[in-house]
């Protein structure tokens, strides 16, 4: 065991026959008893015996779960025992790319409504979409932050009992809005000030609700715009979405064509965001990619994924249900392994819009994020 506050990973515990006095003494050298996270109580029984003999606090991962961030009891224990040395015991933990970050994130204490920190492990979301004060851009802009949170909770409640996972409310707020005029900076994108977005983030955080910041960059680029909102993205309940429909070339203007983004540009954003999460000990974030045409994300299969981020492709097609289903199926082809999926219900444009029951039954695989615009 390491000095107090350190983190270690012991992946060889299955080979030990039994604890001995030397093992127990090593634990006892810490000024406070260690927290030992055990991958499997049966397989890693020697580690459990050693830790318990030394007076360590043992917490066991749930069956079938390999990521501590997806284990509510583990996150709670590490939060409650912040400052104690931590040991991950078991071969499963070889996959942890940065155990220190995992512990720091858990010690921060933020958990999703039904426990854990992974956005889409055991969680499904419905979200109101739109821009503050702009009802024409979506239902989120039809009321103030407090009423928006209440409306989002009511929407999620309409999905109660419809699936095998709980459905929780979220907000997707357009932080940069594609504009018909170039503006002072010439980028055809109106960047909302942090002060306009902060009340939504604060109201959502008080309700235990995540907020997705959506970027429509015009002639700017996604990374430059994401950095504008670093102070918000450093909050545990704030995630990020990129909307390539509005990523334009140097001679393009909104609504005259469908924009696109390269995988390289997405990777620059994801690398920056993952580093931000690690640096500040934040829980994992969702990175949402909006898409309704294959051409919108160039070389999508080559996207780099990071353990600090859960990647989700959000299918934004509108219109008739046969057309939406065709788009849904087409975008699943050759998708990066391990991505999650989102679906949008357009209140006015879909013909007809699916009910909650139809959304859960007719859209397969069942989406992890369902937004309403």
Identify which of 30, 29, 37, 38 has the alpha carbon closest to the alpha carbon of residue 83: 30
- Between these two residues, 259 and 48, which has the higher pLDDT value? 259
Q: What is the pLDDT of residues 181-236, one digit of tens each?
A: 999 999 999 999 999 999 999 999 999 999 999 999 999 999 999 999 999 999 99
Measured CA to CA, the distance from residue 96 to residue 66 in angstroms comes to 9
Measured CA to CA, the distance from residue 326 to residue 346 in angstroms comes to 16
Q: CB-based burial of residue 173 (10 Å sphere; 0-12 exposed, 13-18 middle, 19+ buried)?
A: buried
Measured CA to CA, the distance from residue 39 to residue 65 in angstroms comes to 8
Tell whether the model's pLDDT for residue 277 goes beyond 80: yes
Question: Using an 8 Å Cβ cutoff, are 265 and 304 in contact?
Answer: no
Tell whether the model's pLDDT for residue 17 goes beyond 70: no
Q: Which of 30-39, 106-115, 358-367 has the lowest mean pLDDT?
A: 30-39
DSSP H or E run through 314: strand 309-315
320: Cα separation from own chain's centroid: 30
Identify which of 323, 324, 364, 365 has the alpha carbon closest to the alpha carbon of residue 345: 324
Q: What's the pTM value of the predicted model, to 2 decimals?
A: 0.91
How would residue 8 be classed by pLDDT, with cut points 50, 70 and 90?
low
Phi, psi (5° rounding) for residue 308? -80, -10
HSE, CB side, 13 Å, CA atoms: give it for residue 228.
18
Tell whether the model's pLDDT for residue 266 goes beyond 60: yes
Measured CA to CA, the distance from residue 138 to residue 118 in angstroms comes to 27
**Mean of pLDDT values over 130-134:** 97
In the prediction, which pLDDT does 31 show?
64
**Mean of pLDDT values over 329-355:** 96
**Mean of pLDDT values over 161-170:** 94
**Mean of pLDDT values over 307-324:** 96
Identify which of 130, 135, 217 has the alpha carbon closest to the alpha carbon of residue 176: 217
In the prediction, which pLDDT does 44 show?
87
How would residue 267 be classed by pLDDT, with cut points 50, 70 and 90?
very high
State the alpha helices, DSSP H only, in 132-211: 145-157, 194-206
Q: Which of 43-52, 116-125, 189-198 has the lowest mean pLDDT?
A: 43-52
Tell whether the model's pLDDT for residue 145 goes beyond 90: yes
116: Cα separation from own chain's centroid: 11
In the prediction, which pLDDT does 12 show?
54
Residues in contact with 373: Cβ distance below 8 Å, sequence separation at least 6, in sequence order: 129, 130, 137, 138, 139, 344, 345, 346, 347
**Mean of pLDDT values over 253-266:** 94
In DSSP terms, 37 is beta-bridged to 59, 88
Q: What is the pLDDT of residues 248-258, one digit of tens each?
A: 999 899 889 99
Measured CA to CA, the distance from residue 314 to residue 309 in angstroms comes to 15
CA angle 277, 282, 284 (to 5 degrees): 75
User: How would DSSP label each residue in 351-362?
Assistant: BTPPPHHHHHHH
In the prediction, which pLDDT does 21 show?
35
Which domains does the chain carry? 7-107 (no CATH), 124-372 (3.20.20)
Question: Using an 8 Å Cβ cutoff, are 189 and 177 in contact?
Answer: yes
Tell whether the model's pLDDT for residue 6 goes beyond 70: no
In the prediction, which pLDDT does 25 show?
41
Mean pLDDT (the chain) is 92
In the prediction, which pLDDT does 350 show?
93
Tell whether the model's pLDDT for residue 10 goes beyond 90: no
| Four-residue CA torsion sign, 339, 345, 350, 356 | positive
In the prediction, which pLDDT does 122 show?
87
How many residues can be counted in the chain? 373
Tell whether the model's pLDDT for residue 11 goes beyond 80: no
Tell whether the model's pLDDT for residue 318 goes beyond 50: yes
């Amino acid at each position: 065991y390491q000095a107090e506050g350190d983190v270690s990973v012991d992946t060889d515990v299955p080979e030990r026959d039994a604890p001995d006095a030397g093992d127990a003494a090593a634990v006892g050298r810490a000024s406070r008893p260690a927290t030992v996270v055990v991958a499997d109580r049966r397989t890693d029984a020697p580690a459990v015996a050693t830790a318990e003999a030394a007076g360590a606090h043992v917490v066991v991962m749930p069956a079938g779960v390999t990521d501590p961030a997806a284990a509510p009891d583990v996150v709670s224990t590490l939060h409650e025992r912040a400052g104690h040395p931590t040991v991950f015991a078991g071969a499963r933990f070889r996959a942890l790319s940065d155990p220190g970050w995992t512990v720091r994130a858990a010690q921060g204490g933020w958990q999703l409504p039904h426990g854990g920190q992974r956005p889409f492990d055991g969680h499904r979301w419905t979200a109101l979409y739109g821009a503050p004060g702009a009802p024409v851009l979506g239902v989120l802009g039809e009321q103030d932050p407090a009423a928006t949170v209440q409306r989002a909770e009511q929407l999620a409640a309409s999905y109660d009992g419809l699936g095998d996972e709980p459905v929780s409310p979220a907000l997707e707020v357009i932080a940069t809005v594609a504009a018909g005029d170039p503006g002072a900076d010439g980028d055809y994108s109106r960047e909302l000030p942090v002060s306009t977005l902060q009340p939504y983030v604060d109201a959502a955080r008080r309700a235990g609700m995540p907020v997705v910041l959506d970027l429509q960059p015009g002639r700017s680029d996604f990374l430059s715009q994401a950095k504008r909102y670093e102070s918000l993205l450093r909050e545990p309940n704030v995630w990020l979405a990129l909307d390539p429909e509005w990523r334009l070339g140097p001679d393009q203007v909104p609504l005259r064509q469908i924009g696109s983004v390269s995988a390289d540009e997405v990777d620059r954003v994801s690398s920056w965001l993952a580093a931000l999460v690690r640096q500040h000990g934040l829980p994992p974030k969702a990175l949402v990619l909006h898409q309704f045409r294959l051409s919108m994300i160039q070389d999508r299969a080559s996207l780099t994924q990071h353990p600090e981020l859960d990647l989700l492709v959000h299918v934004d097609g509108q219109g008739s249900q046969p057309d939406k289903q065709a788009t849904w199926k087409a975008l699943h082809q050759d998708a990066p392994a391990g991505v999650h999926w989102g679906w949008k219900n357009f209140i006015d444009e879909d013909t007809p819009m699916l009910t909650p029951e139809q959304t859960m039954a007719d859209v397969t695989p069942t989406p992890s994020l369902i937004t309403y615009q």
